[in-house]
């Protein structure tokens, strides 16, 4: 789950180049704000026994099933391990199961990197689709989704210019939704404080040089 901040990229780049200590302090504050979201999301990963029979790696196929990738298997330990926090530009790829195009660069984010975890996170978003089922079992989708439970968050916009903006899920999105904006406010405060301190330092430097 990213915190989307615009308009400060140039200042942050200068800060990283000119005031490494201030940049490190800001990054630490941002991480501290977002880690509770990560830990809560990890705690929401259900046990293998709660999943549909046959979807977990502890099934009747044994160790060889781990190599079978036609449909990714669910494994609680892998899902927990796969929920990670990253700092640094992420131009494309998966962030909490949502695809971001190159123009949406994310610099601090929590991601669901395991295949099974991403499926558990976002399955059911298209529950209103009218496309006919190709499964031999027409109830397969409903039977798969039922043990997963509800999804949390907001549907987002359908505007094709912005790609997939559906902000709903069962792990990271749930933790973010239940946080009620506290992490986002803390991140914005850390950014605002760091930028103000950096700009004040640059202005003072110019004043001294002029004097």
pLDDT mean across residues, the chain:
78
Domain ranges in the chain are 9-210
Give the separation between CA 206 and CA 189, rounded to whole angstroms.
26
pLDDT over 90, % of the chain: 39
- Decide if pLDDT at 102 tops 50: no
180 falls in which pLDDT band (50, 70, 90)? very high
For range 27-43, the mean pLDDT: 95
pLDDT value, residue 56:
86
- Decide if pLDDT at 179 tops 80: yes
- pLDDT per position as a tens digit, 41-91: 999 999 999 988 788 875 545 555 455 456 789 999 999 999 999 986 655
Give the separation between CA 42 and CA 39, rounded to whole angstroms.
5
pLDDT value, residue 160:
60
- pLDDT per position as a tens digit, 131-150: 555 667 778 888 888 889 99
pLDDT value, residue 104:
45
């Amino acid at each position: 789950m990213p915190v989307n901040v615009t308009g400060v990229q140039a200042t942050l780049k200068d800060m990283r180049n000119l005031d490494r200590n201030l940049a490190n302090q800001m990054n630490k504050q941002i991480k501290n704000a977002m880690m509770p979201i990560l830990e809560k999301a990890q705690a929401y990963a259900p046990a293998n026994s709660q999943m549909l029979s046959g979807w977990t790696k502890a099934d009747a196929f044994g160790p060889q099933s781990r190599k079978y990738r036609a449909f990714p298997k669910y494994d609680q330990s892998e899902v927990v391990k796969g929920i990670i926090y990253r700092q640094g530009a992420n131009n494309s790829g998966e962030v909490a199961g949502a695809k971001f195009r190159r123009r949406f660069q994310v610099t601090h984010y929590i991601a669901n990197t395991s295949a099974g975890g991403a499926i558990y996170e976002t399955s059911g978003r298209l529950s209103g689709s009218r496309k006919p089922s190709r499964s031999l079992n027409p109830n397969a989708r409903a039977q798969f989704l039922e043990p997963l439970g509800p999804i949390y968050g907001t549907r987002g916009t359908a505007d094709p210019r912005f790609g997939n903006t559906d902000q709903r899920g069962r792990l990271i999105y749930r933790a973010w939704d239940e946080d009620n904006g506290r992490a986002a406010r803390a991140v914005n405060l850390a950014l605002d404080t760091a930028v103000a301190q950096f700009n004040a330092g640059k202005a003072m430097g110019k004043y001294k040089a002029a004097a």
